[in-house]
Structure 1
């Protein structure tokens, strides 16, 4: 009897937890997709100086907010592993999603953050040599990250 009572309370909380987690994950993936899909073409239309100003500004602002969002999502996913343990049938997909997101975070910190920091710290009036090459390289790596994020989100959504 106590297990049934606990389960009747746990199930609505689990659904609420899933909705919040899926919404946060989808917003993050959508934001990353929008940056990958629309920013490079729009930046390419700008003059070099304006492009440098926009890239430095966006790099600085997104560099401050995105690490928090990624870490929060990873914590939500780890929490969901415990939340769903007794009732989930898609635990394996959920584990793959967590591993994939963890690798995405590692990829971001080791590959994308150093490039982003160089671009964010440059003085737009006098851009550093090779900053445009850095932008193109960052865009390529970012597209890879977005692809992995989309797969992770699909795994998350199909895990339950």
Structure 2
């Protein structure tokens, strides 16, 4: 059971990290260089789409990681999984407190109705996202290491 859960956890968390890397280093930089109307529409659409999926993905990753820690209790896997779970919990809290408010505001912005500092707000979101990405990447590495301890 431990090997199966380790593979599932590594896969779910790894795919989430991959999506977030694509958002950070490909999608958002391209969108930010677009003219205002197109950029605002693309960010709003992406925010709505990922805003529906990512909460389940983040919480699911955390649940799988905690589950791995529980079923491997008393082993090195437990220690690594608990540290990973702590990092994932920080990423969820950071998302809710810092990133989601910016995202929710931006969902209503249009080419005709947006704040003057819209690019700065997106850049702030992107900087916070880089920090969150570093946190979930560290959590992924710990889970990958835990999976090799079987």
Q: Which residue of 1 aligns with 2:133?
A: 146
Q: Which residue of 1 aligns with 2:49?
A: 61
Structure 2 counterparts to residues 1-160 of structure 1, below 5 A: 13-85=1-73, 88-159=75-146, 160=149
Distance, in Å, in 2 between the alignment partners of 1:22 and 1:90 is 12
Give 1:78 deviation, angstroms. 1.4
Distance, in Å, in 2 between the alignment partners of 1:77 and 1:140 is 26
Residues 47 and 107 of structure 2 are in contact (CA less than 8 Å); yes or no, is this contact kept in structure 1? yes
Give 1:120 deviation, angstroms. 1.4
Give 1:131 deviation, angstroms. 2.0
Q: How big is each residue's C-alpha offset from its partner over 1:28-84, in whole Å with a ceiling of 9 and x where there is no partner? A: 000001100112321133111101110111111111110011111111111111111
Give 1:124 deviation, angstroms. 4.1
When the two structures are superposed, what TM-score results if normalisation uses the length of structure 1? Answer: 0.85
Unmatched 5+ stretches in structure 1: 1-12
Residues 66 and 81 of structure 2 are in contact (CA less than 8 Å); yes or no, is this contact kept in structure 1? no
Residues 56 and 124 of structure 1 are in contact (CA less than 8 Å); yes or no, is this contact kept in structure 2? no
Give 1:157 deviation, angstroms. 1.1
Residues 87 and 135 of structure 2 are in contact (CA less than 8 Å); yes or no, is this contact kept in structure 1? yes
Give 1:20 deviation, angstroms. 1.1
Q: Which runs of 4+ in 1 moved over 3 A?
A: none
Over the aligned positions, Cα root-mean-square deviation in angstroms equals: 1.4
When the two structures are superposed, what TM-score results if normalisation uses the length of structure 2? Answer: 0.91
Q: How big is each residue's C-alpha offset from its partner over 1:115-141, in whole Å with a ceiling of 9 and x where there is no partner? A: 010111223442233222210100000
Aligned length: 147
